Structure 1
Amino acid sequence: MFAIYSAAVMSLSDVECEERLHEPRKSLRSRLMTATKAALSRANFMSTASLVVLQALVIHIISARDMYEPRALWTLTGVAVRVANGMGLDRDGTLLGLSPFETELRRRVWWFLKAQDLHNAELCGLPKFRDVGLSSDSTRRPTNINDIELYPGMPVSPVESATLTDMTFLAIRYDLLWFAAARVAKFRHLGKSLSQWDQDFASEGDKTETDQSVKEIEEHLEKKYLRRCDPSQPLQLMSMLMARAAIDTIRFMTHHPRRWTSINQAPPFERQWVWEVSIRLLEQRDMLQSNPSLNKFAWHAAFTMQWPAFIHVLDSLQANPSTPDAEKAWRLIANTFENNMSMFSDSRKPIHRAVRNLCLKAYDAHRLQRNGVYALQTPAFILKLRQQQEVVKIKRQACCRKAEDAFQWDPISSEATAASTGLKHGTISNLEDAAEHVDAGGQNQQFEHVNKHGSEAEYTYAIEDIDLDSLLAGDVSADNRAYQTINWEQWDLFLADSKIN
């Protein structure tokens, strides 16, 4: 019950929680999560053979997604998968002589865990779909039926519904996972390592075949689910948005701009095609967050940010301010910022600071493109970013003065202090230089050196003890970047260091 309570509070907004439960959402969630963990511990969840206890653990994992770091969440999900393995959930209940009701419940728990485990592993830097592995005795996909059709003592297995059901949202997700499993099986059959999945997925030789596969799964989803969806029904609208966003994400991955030498040297058709896919991804997320009928699912939107597409749109606007649909893109960018206030306020995540910096540079290019007409009304979200930038500059100057005072008064003592804290000379300037050139096309060796070769203690000190809002303090320039490309490896590091679920 505590797990259910915790998930229910997680799905509420701060205002809704105050109005309905008369208590701050943050403190209530903390108490309920503590109670859930205590109850799970008392139930010996790591060695349980109870499906009910496992279900409670799964609900806890859902409700804690934004409170655990990805690696911790992945580890906890891995524990749940191992518990499920121990209970035999990886084999279909029909092969174990279980009742139709228990068989269907086990399928739902197992497939959710596998999907969640793969997602969390990807957030931790592992290859996508590394161990989907399905065989003839693997647990079958959950049946697409309404919850009311499931009950203890049901005599036979339920028949798959030909219409939309309570299960449709997850059924679409599992069909996409099945599609991925087929891709992985073929990948392994060709003798390739799954560590090459991302590179191969976007390789020239594989694009045509992948495009055809994506078209097939899109037609399957359209025929089986999407054409029946009624946008006036919130859950069905949610299912439509999720399915189309998933398809467009695969398309974006297949034609990822990281393969280009520069934006303007990419084939015009390819460039326009990727731009349109990126805009659709931003539109889908905007609808998910802005449509009043989907307010009850707003919590889910927090885990669906399409960072690569968002970064590519900003990069394209900086390189080509007159890109077709530029005004539409800027409206979507503004909505993205306004609907995700943490992108303004949460400066602990490098991806937030880097995106804010890139956005300001792109807007400067947009403004100058209008023949220097400065009468253009500056959007409110740009004003917020600029105000924050001024504050950051002051912090940066104070931080630099403090660092100079600390290291200049006694060279011998300062060396000892630096050694004891794990902070080396030049660490601050290295990080700031990296931030000022966050969108540069060249190889940013200084930032990569700090992330790849610096010790964990050095990096932790730099992030937490030195206010890394200074990353946003770089001068906003309007350099011509049409023949450069952003360093996608650097952005991968920003995302990894941000620990975004």
Structure 2
Amino acid sequence: MEMAARNIGAIPRDFEALMFAIYSTAIMSLSDHECNQRLGEARKSLLSRYVSCTKVALSRTRFMGTTSLVVLQALVLHLHSVRDTHEPRAVWSLTGVAVRIAQGMGLDRDGALLGLPPFETEIRRRIWWLLKTHDFRTAELCGVDKFRDIRVDAESSKWPTNANDDQLRPGMPSLENGPDKLTDAVFISVKCELFKLAIGRGDHLRRAGLTPSELCATGSDAENTDQSFAKIEELLETRYLRYCDPSQPLHLMTMLLARSAMNFIRFLIHHPRRWANVDQTPVIERQAVWDLSIKILEQHSMLQSNPMLKQFAWYAPYFQQWHAVIHVLDTLRASPDTAGTEKAWNLVASTYENNPHMILDTRKPIHIAVGSLCLKAYASREAVLQKSGTSPSPLPTFIVQLRQQRKIFQTKKQAVHSKSYQQEDPVGGSQSATQLPNWSRPSGLPNSSGSPEGDAFWSKQVSGDAEFGIANDLGDMGWDFLQDQDGVGDSATSGIDWDKWDSWLAESNMIRPYSSENGFFEDM
């Protein structure tokens, strides 16, 4: 890389792609303020430029048929640089291409079995598991169950070595895992330990004749599973976390990742969907799930807002644990006077403050659904305060924004319906009030005959490429969806329909269709 940087005019094409991918990833990890301060330009324009340059450079390498490890590195970094701005289904598809390229190069088999030198073996391991962990999470965002299709055998690539970067060099005689101590690779090592846990859990479910989706099924042995995870948690603590210094950003990040991941796995085991309604849920179980949800939100908030972790804040949005957020809001709606509500509302406020796209990006059904549930929960809180005679506190900013957003929706909806009734068709009949205005349909295509099916289809279509845009009103995501939220979470005792929430989450990752104006890789 140093030689390439010193001789830009003669840089090989594979290293050119890698350099631009590194630039893109570096920009992705910076905030807009940091980009303006250090580079004198907005983050959005810089990221767009370097991502475009990376795409061109990768195309020049003919990456689809490459056997170059450097080109594969560039592609994997490119996937990470676009994962927050592009539709997960498109990212997942291109990740599948990268996995096939890696398999074609034999990265799924350990380099030691192939007789490769120790240094190359370690590089291959790190690339392979970085790619596979990325593929695992992207698949999950597209509706694939956790722990599905992740298996290892005797020939599979081994896990990355727990060694400092300066210990890795070409020509090194051997490759050995370091002792149980902190190294530059501590974050990678902990991620791999968690991935091993996922693989082991998936194998256990299959041996029991279950599928990964049945992790939290009613009747599962939660107590025994808790005990097995306690052993794994102890392993993480003794092997890695006890050596971490929370005053060091990377160490604090590693501690948060490990503990948040373990809390979320426990949440899945005790998932509230195991119970048909609140009345059937044992009090101890209900409190345990509430405590886990609060811990998850707290740790996620710390990752995004702690000044020490500013350089890692970019990592958090991709790993938002929506089920924990939904459970907290639903509990606040059904039991607004439950213990710990002030802390819970502070965490909800922090979640919205750290993730403004949850309000601004109305193309995603999950954002609309969570916003509606949040407003219902806050209305319950206001009712309890009014009943007790407590003076209401000033409305939080996110509540004001969510209410204003829905007020705009109602105004636009009334205006469109009023206009549709006033318009006359060629034979004198009025148009159907259910027909959507022309601007909500792709240009150049005729209106449907006014059928609900046609309107439902077109209301979900959005023009543009695969990059998520920001919408300031609700016109872009389809108005019918917001109307459907009126019946969400109205009963204080009925259980939440988790299957419906799962479908909204999956739809949130497929709402931007493929654009016929650009090639597939051009969109990525």
Normalising by structure 2, report the TM-score: 0.84
Q: CA offset at residue 389 of structure 1? A: 2.7
User: Are positions 1:89 and 2:99 aligned together?
Assistant: no
Change (3 A) 1:407 1:464: farther
Given that residues 288 and 294 in structure 1 are in contact (C-alpha distance below 8 angstroms), is that contact kept between their aligned partners in structure 2?
Answer: yes
Query: 488, 499, 512: which one pairs with 1:489?
Result: 499
Q: Which residue of 2 aligns with 1:279?
A: 294
Q: CA deviation at 1:20?
A: 1.0
Structure 2 Cα separation of the partners of residues 190 and 259 of structure 1 = 18
Matches within 5 A, 1:55-454: 55-192=73-210, 196-372=211-387, 373=389, 375-381=391-397, 382-405=399-422, 420-422=446-448, 424-426=450-452
Deviates more, 1:114-123 or 1:370-379: 370-379
Greater Cα shift, 369-378 or 290-299: 369-378
Choose 134-143 or 476-485, whichever is displaced more: 476-485
Structure 2 CA distance for partners of 1:471 and 1:483, relative to 1, 3 Å = same
RMSD: 2.9
Question: CA shift at 1:18, angstroms?
Answer: 1.1
1:325-375 CA-partner distances (Å, limit 9, x unpaired): 111101111111111111222211111111111111111111211243362
Q: Which residue of 1 aligns with 2:39?
A: 21
One-letter amino acid of the counterpart of residue 482, structure 1: A
For residue 494 of structure 1, report the CA deviation from its aligned partner: 1.6
Summarize the Cα distance change of 1:405–1:125 in structure 2 as closer, same or farther, 3 Å threshold.
farther
The 3 A distance-change label for structure 1 pair 23 and 371 is closer
CA–CA distance in structure 1, aligned partners of residues 489 and 171 of structure 2: 70
Specify the code of the residue in structure 2 equivalent to 1:496. Answer: A
Contact 1:262–1:482 (CA under 8 A) maintained in structure 2: no
SS of residue in 2 equivalent to 1:303: helix
Greater share of helix: 1
Aligned-partner Cα distance in 2 for 1:365–1:185: 43
The CA deviation at 1:219 is 1.1
Is 1:468 aligned to 2:475, yes or no?
no
Counterpart contact for 2:122–2:160, Cα < 8 Å: yes
- Tell me, in whole angstroms, the C-alpha distance in 1 between the residues paired with 2:382 and 2:406: 18
Contact 2:421 2:431 survives alignment (8 Å) = no
CA 1:170/1:469 → structure 2, altered by over 3 Å: closer, same or farther? farther
The answer to whether the 8 Å contact 2:459/2:478 transfers is no
Answer whether contact 1:422 1:458 (CA < 8 A) is retained: no
Alignment CA distance shift 1:67-1:467 (3 Å): closer
Residue of structure 2 in register with 1:51 after alignment: 69
Distance 1:402 1:486 in 2: 37
Write the letter of the residue equivalent to 2:156. S
Structure 2, gaps ≥5 residues long: 1-18, 437-444, 464-472, 512-524
- For the residues of structure 1 that align with 2:489 and 2:224, how far apart are their CA atoms? 38
Please tell me whether residue 459 in structure 1 is matched to residue 460 in structure 2.
Answer: yes
Tell me the alpha carbon deviations over residues 462-491 of structure 1, each in whole angstroms, 9 at most, x when there is no partner. Answer: 999666367557998999732112211221
8 Å CA contact 2:334–2:491 kept in 1: the answer is yes
What secondary structure sits across from 2:176 in the alignment?
Answer: coil
Give the Å deviation of 1:159.
3.4
Give the direction of change, closer, same or farther, for the CA distance of 1:371–1:26 in structure 2 (3 Å limit): closer
SS where residue 204 of structure 1 aligns? coil
Deviation per CA, 1:30-65: give whole Å up to 9, x if none.
Answer: 111111011111111111111111111111111110
Residue identity matched to 1:481: S
CA contact (8 A) 2:164 2:183 kept: yes
Q: Distance in 1 between matches of 2:147 and 2:484?
A: 38
Change (3 A) 1:70 1:482: same
Alignment CA distance shift 1:406-1:495 (3 Å): farther
CA positional deviation for 1:496? 1.2
Deviation at 1:263, TM superposition (A): 2.0
Structure 1 residues 100 and 466, CA gap change in structure 2 (3 angstroms): closer
Rounded Cα–Cα distance in structure 2 between residues aligned with 1:33 and 1:420: 36
Distance 1:316 1:260 in 2: 14
Which one-letter code corresponds to 1:58 in the other structure?
A: V
Cα pair 1:73 1:120 within 8 Å, conserved: yes
Contact 1:40-1:57 within 8 A present in 2 as well: yes
Question: Residues 37 and 214 of structure 1: is their aligned pair in 2 closer, same or farther, counting only changes over 3 Å?
Answer: same
Distance of 1:278 and 1:217 partners within structure 2: 20
Q: Which amino acid aligns with 1:37?
A: K
- Partner letter of residue 14 of structure 1? D
Matched-pair contact (CA < 8 Å) for 2:361–2:367:
yes
For 2:408, the aligned partner's letter is V
Closer, same or farther in 2 for the Cα pair 1:460/1:108, shift >3 Å? Answer: same
Q: Letter of the 2:409 partner, please give it.
A: V
Q: How many corresponding residue pairs? A: 473
Structure 2 CA distance for partners of 1:64 and 1:479, relative to 1, 3 Å: closer
Query: SS where residue 174 of structure 1 aligns?
Result: helix
Change (3 A) 1:410 1:77: farther
Could you tell me whether the CA contact under 8 Å between 1:172 and 1:239 is conserved in 2? Answer: yes
Mean Cα displacement is larger for which, 418-427 or 383-392? 418-427
Q: 1:48 to 1:198 in 2, by over 3 A?
A: same
Change (3 A) 1:469 1:288: farther
- Point out where structure 1 has 5 or more consecutive residues left out of the alignment: 429-449
Cα distance in 2, alignment partners of residues 34 and 170 from structure 1: 28
Q: Name the SS for the 2:496 alignment partner.
A: coil
Tell whether the 8 Å contact from 1:365 to 1:478 is kept in structure 2 after alignment.
Answer: no
Q: Is the 8 A contact 2:364 2:477 kept in 1?
A: no
Is the CA contact (8 Å cut-off) linking 2:373 and 2:488 kept in structure 1?
A: no
After superposing the two structures, state which structure 1 stretch, 467-476 or 243-252, moved more.
467-476
Provide the residue aligned with 1:40 in structure 2. Answer: 58
Retained in 1: the 8 A contact 2:385–2:391? no
Quote the sequence identity (%): 48
Secondary structure at 2:339 match in 1: coil
Q: Do the aligned partners of 2:373 and 2:489 also contact (CA within 8 Å) in 1?
A: no
**Bigger CA drift: 459-468 or 288-297?**
459-468
Query: TM-score when scaled to structure 1?
Result: 0.87
